[in-house]
Chain A
Amino acid sequence: MSDITKLSLNELIQNIRNKKLSSKEITNSFIERSEKSKKLNTYVTDNFSSALEAAKIFDEKPNMDLKLPGIPIAVKDLFCTNGVRTTAGSKILNNFIPPYESTVTQSMWDEGAILLGKLNCDEFAMGSSNETSFFGNVQNPIGENLVPGGSSGGSSAALAANLTPVTIGTDTGGSIRQPASFTGTVGLKPTYGSCSRYGIVAFASSLDQAGPMSQNVKDAALLLEVISKFDNKDSTSIDFKRNKYSSQLSNNIKGLKIGIPNEYRVEGMPKEIEDLWKTGIEIIKDCGAEIVDISLPNTKYALPTYYIVAPAEASSNLARYDGVKYGFRSEGENLIDMYEKTRSKGFGEEVKRRILIGTYVLSSGYYDAYYLKAQKVRQLIKKDFDNVYNNVDAILTPSTPSSAFKIGEKTDDPVSMYLNDIFTVPVNLAGLPGISIPAGIDNKGFPLGLQIIGKPFDEQTILNIAYSMEEKINFKNNITDWWM
């Protein structure tokens, strides 16, 4: 079968269960295609030989009751993987091999999945284009020298290029949904507290959330079902009743009320995004759901709030990378000198920028004006959503204000880069679930995504909406394998 890598996760599972394909055949296909796709620079570390070994072992005694039987999956290099190098896209962790496994990845291996490799990402997940990675740019398979989005850029590119059937990313301000949107794939950020943060290299603890990235909504539902679990090793994990997201998936959204937030019509938004949104609204109506105009008045404060809260937490979370215990160390005259050299050489520019911002906003004399104020605004933003959820079941917005841009286009302008997250950031601040699905293309032929935002813990509803829209949109990614 030559098109193995084109199959969706659910199709692969069916083929394995029907014994039409072995885990080894599947694994081999993805490895072969990955080997031919080095130009995309999606992998930081491959795990190919171990993966083949594991596939063989699976095939000898296949357990078809598992949810991901013998399925090879590559994951963002922010998830700690036992015995496999984990870098977070940073020089400072260039040589770091964790002796432990993140809860989310463990859940996947427990259901029969096999680690294919570790995927490139922005350094410590700080970026929207994968350009801050110590391991270099990732090419978007949509077109040459196009960014794949970020920070889960290696994940979105590998997924769109069929180097992995599905993948997982992390989303702090849009890092799953924005790259999904840029690559014509599906990306879901679950409700904060759904997926354990244990073993995920932390960026901003109160915002970070792992989630599935896939070719279609059904695959996302299945992968979410595997990774969304209460974990007592993460104090912010929430013990709520999880659905069987994939088997409960339904395209019947009749009678649901979908909110259209007025404040998301931002100034300077390209007309094609506006049109895409309108098309989305029509499709929703077609599906029998009701459209309701809503207002989220504090939306305009979301981005500045995010760029205070996230760097503040990051400045503290990244203090542990000091050259003392593990990772990169640059020798110095004394302890302070060693710290300074290690952190100056070990971190890249964007990470340093955010550490500086974060340190500043937490400093005495500035704390009240920045951090404390931002936390208050964050509450207001959350309250905006609480209010509208009295009247609507979900919210429809564009995923991003533009399609994928050229590599290098925004690297000198951090603020314009930050604006990429304008539609995704409020969702993280409010801890809500959000999914981006491919909904069309712009005049350059680049994919554009629509975002559906749900009520807390109501992933099922946004999956159902996405599922029914997906049917009607019938989006096909135009990947030409230009890099081969």
Chain B
Amino acid sequence: MAKTNQFFIEREQNKYEVVIGLEVHAQVTSASKLFSSSPTKFGAEPNTQVSLVDAAFPGMLPVINEFCVKQAIKTGIGLKAKINKNSIFDRKNYFYADLPQGYQISQYKYPIIGEGKVILDMVDGQKEIGIERLHLEQDAGKSIHDIDPTNTFVDLNRSGVALMEIVSKPDLRSPDEVNVYIKKLRSIMRYLGTCDGNMQEGSLRADVNVSVRRQGDDNFGTRCEIKNVNSIKFMQMAIIYEANRQVDLIEEGKSIDQETRLFDTKKNETRSMRSKEDAHDYRYFPDPDLLPLEISDEFISQIKDEIPELPDEKKKRFIDKFNLSSYEANILVSDIDTSKYFEEVIKNSDVKLATNWITGELFAVLNEKNLEISESPVSSNNLSKLINLIKDGTISGKIAKTIFEEMIDGDKDPQIIVDQKGLKQESDPKALEELINKVIKNNTSKVEEYKSGKEKLFGFFVGQVMKESKGKGNPQLINKILKEKLNG
């Protein structure tokens, strides 16, 4: 995360602010397509998930999938947005080989969801990003140009898959904000179960609108739209390249053309795809095969009842109820699976320890092994057992780390490891006193030094006692008894 929200492009004389708006295309989590009953599973053999409707056979008609509508409304609620009780599906007309109907069914003037907002937690505070609208639309198929030297192959599996296009207001000001914004959107949709947010599988892509203006200017500059960028990293690279390109043009006294551009990930540059003059005339008009979409209050309130606690509310609860820092709470709520894991662990164990163990040891292991928390080698149940062993003094934090290392291999029960390896902490004051006496006896000169004021040596004695206890001595008790002995 960035240390500051401030992001400017500087030249000798001028400082430029970058203005960014995103059109995120999020695939709706749904077993079937937006207007047909074909399945939507990722990675199926080409053209095996295609109905006559998806392939636009003569006389085939679209029928709206109610579940997709519900998912869009859910997402709208998650974005604290206005739900439009009347919306209209339009046809966006253009020819392409992977667009079988010759038009995409989308929503143009009357989207299902209106204005909303997303709160970003930046290091220097919160920032609100406005949502302009969310609408439902069909995905196109896929043209494959590299199988055959002269022919293009078309895979219609994606044709007709439901997408939500989420359009932000031009409120983003830096690549870092874009990063946090996309992650927050993804987080909200994953909490809601409306989009899996999987960018590798193309479930989340964005068109990025970029413009620049001199710091302090009130008016927006001319924007360029970078089409179909499919990772946060590429979005950030594209923004930095594009903003610099625009600044250079201004510095040279040239003007910026409003145009659509493509980001070349290999060359790390954007290049012109089509100018405003060449812009398609999509001839939008209401799809006469579909009636206006009318949503009842009952339907909305039913959906509201299904809305789970979302990241912002969860974060607030974690802070209020568990006394977590904003930073800790953010980490724990940012991903739904992490928050689930955390809440399972703390059902039966200490919150503070759980926070530290999850954000510390567990995250380190997941990072190292490149695993999602849903694939964690240590179950929430066993982690909470481990935490309880620490809490009730059975083991020390240090021993716990050794045990944790072993738990990773096959999700072992920490209690069994403790029993098998005899790692139970020594908390009997008498036994510890014996060990301490032995250490004092063997280090008389050091004891003298300590008593004459070299208090730094206290750590040395603790270490020696620990060593004698083979690491199992209760550190708090050792400290206490040792202090009594040395100072007495």
Contact = CB atoms under 8 A, between A and B. Distances in A.
Interface of A: 80, 86, 88, 93, 96, 98-100, 102, 197-202, 204-206, 232-236, 312-313, 315-316, 318-320, 322, 324-326, 335-336, 339, 359, 362-364, 367, 371
Given A197-B59, A316-B91, A205 B288 contact: yes
A107 B52 CA distance: 20
Contact of A206 (B55, B93, B152, B288): B288
A363 B283 contact: yes
Interface in B148-173: 152, 154
B288 A98 contact: no
Given A100-B52, A202-B59, A316-B103, A235 B289 contact: yes
Interface in B260-304: 281, 283-285, 288-291
Given A202-B59, A319-B93, A324 B285 contact: no
Contact of A98 (B58, B62, B91): B58
A363 B281 contact: yes
Contacts of B281: 363-364
B58 A201 contact: yes
Given A313-B288, A325-B56, A363-B283, A235 B95 contact: no
B61 A198 contact: yes
Contacts of B322: none
A136 to B, nearest CB: 21
16 contacts: A201-B59, A202-B58, A234-B63, A235-B61, A235-B62, A235-B64, A235-B290, A312-B285, A313-B288, A315-B93, A319-B93, A319-B101, A320-B56, A320-B102, A363-B281, A364-B283
A357 to B, nearest CB: 13
Nearest to B152: A335
B288 A96 contact: no
Interface string B58-76: 1111111000000000000
B393 interface: no
A325 B56 CA distance: 9
B97 interface: yes
B281 to A, nearest CB: 5
B291 A236 contact: yes
B193 interface: no
Residue with the highest number of chain A CB atoms closer than 10 Å, among B57, B284, B290: B57
A234 B56 CA distance: 14
Contacts of B59: 80, 98, 102, 197-202
A80 B57 CA distance: 10
B142 to A, nearest CB: 14
A234 B288 CA distance: 11
Contact of B95 (A96, A200, A236, A322): A322
B100 interface: yes
B103 A319 contact: yes
Nearest to A78: B59
A470 to B, nearest CB: 33
B58 A320 contact: yes
Given A316-B91, A359-B283, A324 B97 contact: yes
Given A362-B93, A362-B285, 16 more contacts: A80-B57, A80-B58, A80-B59, A98-B57, A204-B288, A205-B289, A235-B61, A235-B62, A235-B64, A235-B291, A312-B285, A316-B103, A320-B100, A324-B154, A325-B56, A364-B283
Chain A contact surface mostly? loop
Given A235-B63, A316-B102, A88 B58 contact: yes
Given A199-B59, A312-B285, A320 B101 contact: yes
Nearest to B55: A325
A336 B91 CA distance: 21
Q: Which 9 A-B pairs have the closest CB atoms?
A: A319-B102, A205-B288, A362-B283, A206-B288, A199-B59, A320-B56, A201-B58, A80-B59, A200-B59
A233 B93 contact: no
A86 B58 contact: yes
A289 B247 CA distance: 81
B340 to A, nearest CB: 38
Contacts of B100: 320, 324-325
A318 B52 CA distance: 16
A335 B283 contact: no
A86 B97 CA distance: 23
A236 B289 contact: yes
A369 to B, nearest CB: 14
B152 A316 contact: no
B258 to A, nearest CB: 15
A236 B56 CA distance: 18
A140 B208 CA distance: 61
Contacts of A313: 288
A98 B83 CA distance: 41
Contacts of B60: 198-199
A11 to B, nearest CB: 33
Contacts of B283: 315-316, 359, 362-364, 367
A236 B287 CA distance: 11
Given A359-B283, A371-B285, A316 B93 contact: yes
A363 B283 CA distance: 5
Contacts of A336: 95
Contacts of B57: 80, 98, 100, 325-326
A100 B91 CA distance: 25
Contacts of A234: 61, 63
Contacts of B154: 324
Residue with the highest number of chain B CB atoms closer than 10 Å, among A93, A204, A316, A371: A316
Contacts of B289: 202, 205, 235-236
Contacts of B55: 325
Contacts of B284: 362
A357 B154 CA distance: 31
A367 B285 contact: yes
A364 B288 CA distance: 19
A285 B15 CA distance: 87
A82 B245 CA distance: 58
B100 to A, nearest CB: 6
A313 to B, nearest CB: 5
Nearest to B52: A100
Contacts of A86: 58
A80 B58 CA distance: 8
A204 B288 CA distance: 8
Contacts of B152: 335
A96 B58 contact: yes
Contacts of A320: 56, 58, 100-102
A106 to B, nearest CB: 12
Nearest to A318: B102
Contacts of B96: 335
Contacts of A206: 288
Contacts of A80: 57-59
A335 B58 contact: no
Nearest to B154: A324
B384 to A, nearest CB: 50
A197 B289 CA distance: 9
Nearest to B290: A235
Interface string B111-142: 00000000000000000000000000000000
Contacts of A102: 59
A316 B58 contact: no
A198 B57 CA distance: 11
A123 to B, nearest CB: 13
A335 B102 contact: no
A197 B91 CA distance: 18
Contacts of B103: 316, 319
Interface string B5-31: 000000000000000000000000000
Residue with the highest number of chain A CB atoms closer than 10 Å, among B52, B58, B91, B291: B58
A431 to B, nearest CB: 12
Nearest to A358: B283
Contact of B97 (A205, A232, A335, A367): A335
Given A320-B56, A325-B56, A364-B281, A233 B61 contact: yes
Interface in B43-62: 52, 55-62
A49 B447 CA distance: 115
